[in-house]
Amino acid sequence: MMTGDEKGRVRTSVHIHWGVTEECPRNGKMTSLSVDSCFIQTKAEVIVGQTIHVDLKNSLGSPLMLRGEIYYRLERLGFGVRFAEVSEEEREKLKEIIARAGRGNED
């Protein structure tokens, strides 16, 4: 079942790559996504305020590399990322990814 809020956030269970560089050497699982932010489940240590890249290329079918800022963390659980400078094209791709993830969660 899909769950979402008024901002279009959906619960996901998608393995992604992330990192402080565009190479995105770290792995994690994205457990929620909206056009403005996401939550990445990982035990990796991060710093609130740190800028990271999130690579959705091979996760939900629509190639997308986003940059964002870590705005909170839950020790040994993961962290929230607020996307920065999202273009209209990237926003549309995010909406497509969210719609696809939502349909997948309804099955």
- The answer to whether the beta carbons of residues 70 and 49 sit under 8 Å apart is yes
Per-residue pLDDT tens over the stretch 26-53:
999 999 999 999 999 999 999 999 999 9
Mean pLDDT over 64-75 rounds to 96
Instruction: Check: pTM over 0.85? Answer yes or no.
Output: no
Q: Which domains does the chain have, with CATH numbers?
A: 10-106 (2.40.10.220)
- The answer to whether the beta carbons of residues 103 and 9 sit under 8 Å apart is no
Which pLDDT score is estimated for 28?
Answer: 93
Q: Which two tokens stand for residue 73?
A: 């963390």
